[in-house]
Structure 1
Amino acid sequence: MKYLYQLFLAFNSTWLIAVVFLVKDKYIFTVLEKYSMYFSWGLFILIPILLTALSFMIARKLPKDNLQSGSVMEIELANNNFLPTYLGYFFVSLGVNDISTLIVVFLIIYIFTYLSQTLYFNPIFLLFGYHFYFIKTSANIKIFLITKRQLKTPGNDHFNNLRRINNYTFIEL
């Protein structure tokens, strides 16, 4: 289940590349041809939002883990660290001229995102109220934490409801 979830997260993290391309090229779903192209664009945007919502439900099946009080030594907000990466993705998708090139570019980025398996940053998580943090533990291990909590002071928090995505990435549900 963990590997399937990692594949799913990597897909959700990179799918916005396709959304930007489809909107840029004014693609429309053939079923919605008689309606405005904005319905198709809304659907293109809605798909990754729904898939991200589904990822929260699937995350409940991941292995449980925790961090005890006093084990968090440093907290660093990571929400803005990924903005350059996503801007790069958007500029790449704006530069792609046809669907076959988009597929190749998407697959390359998807594979690298999956194989890196260190972070699964999905900007749509922000819409659901989640934040991204780098946390350094008392064992001097730096982990990536996805949580709805606003973390400010290290040492006082305990995390009893973590789900392990991989050895360095956790989500608190």
Structure 2
Amino acid sequence: MSLNSILFVVIVYLIKQDISLFNGFFLCTWPSHLILMIIPIFLAKLNLKTSKYLEKDSIESKITQIEQANNTYLPSYLGYFFIALSIQNVQTFIFIFLILFVFVYFSQTQYFNPVFLLLGYHFYFVTIEDNSKNIIISKRKLKIPHEAEFKKLRRINYYTYIDEEVA
């Protein structure tokens, strides 16, 4: 999920460099760019399909607060785009991408993927009674803490879950 969450950095860089998948087969590169844009969507769907194999979990504690997290992650994600647009050569891009990947992987909280938003998912910070804050990726629209229950979760890591319940 870490790799998939930052894959658009590669896509933006390849489009900026005008790299075509077809090596001159088309006179313009837009079909290649369209295919590049479809790859992260396919991989996001694959991530969601394979999440059913993650460990089952639930949050049994009293929920004290629910905050939408989409807006929190969007600025840092847009920062990735600016990085991809500003790098001039492939060696520098690979080095920066690897550093970025390591930071995202070890932070274990940057699973924000804008493709999930397109697929109808939302990201929420859910605070429970011991003041620990968890990230829930869900299709449900969550607003009222005392009405929310999380009985069908899949654990991504210690603080991040995917909700199996549908809106």
Counterpart pick for 1:46 among 38, 57, 60: 38
Counterpart-to-counterpart distance in 1, 2:8 and 2:110? 17
| 1:153 aligns to 2:135 (yes or no) | no
- 1:167 counterpart = 2:167: no
**Deviation at residue 158 of structure 1 after TM alignment:** 1.1
- Matched residue, 2:87: 96
| Superposition deviation, residue 37 in structure 1 | 0.6
In structure 2, list runs of 5 or more residues that go unmatched. none
Matched, 1:118 2:136: no
- Ranges in structure 1 where 5+ consecutive residues have no aligned partner: 1-8
Displacement after TM superposition at 1:49 (Å) = 0.7
Quote the Cα distance in structure 2 between the aligned partners of 1:142 and 1:86.
Answer: 21
Of 8, 29, 33 in structure 2, the residue corresponding to residue 16 of structure 1 is 8
Contact 1:119 1:144 in 2 (8 A): no
**1:133 corresponds to which residue?**
124
The answer to whether the Cα contact below 8 Å between 2:2 and 2:110 also exists between their aligned partners in 1 is no
State the match for 2:133 in structure 1: 142
Measure how far apart 1:154 and its partner are: 0.5
Residue in structure 2 matched with residue 6 of structure 1 by the alignment: none
TM-score by length of 2: 0.93
Deviation, structure 1 residue 12? 0.6
**TM-score scaled by length of structure 1:** 0.90
Q: Is the 8 A contact 2:65 2:145 kept in 1?
A: yes
Residue-pair matches, total: 163
Identity %: 42
Give yes or no for contact 2:68–2:125 (8 Å, CA) kept in 1.
yes
Question: Runs (4+) of structure 1 moved beyond 4 Å?
Answer: none
**Is this contact kept in 1: 2:22–2:32, CA < 8 A?**
no
> Within 2, Cα distance between the matches of 1:138 and 1:115?
26
Letter of the 1:133 counterpart: Y
Q: Report the equivalent of 1:27.
A: 19
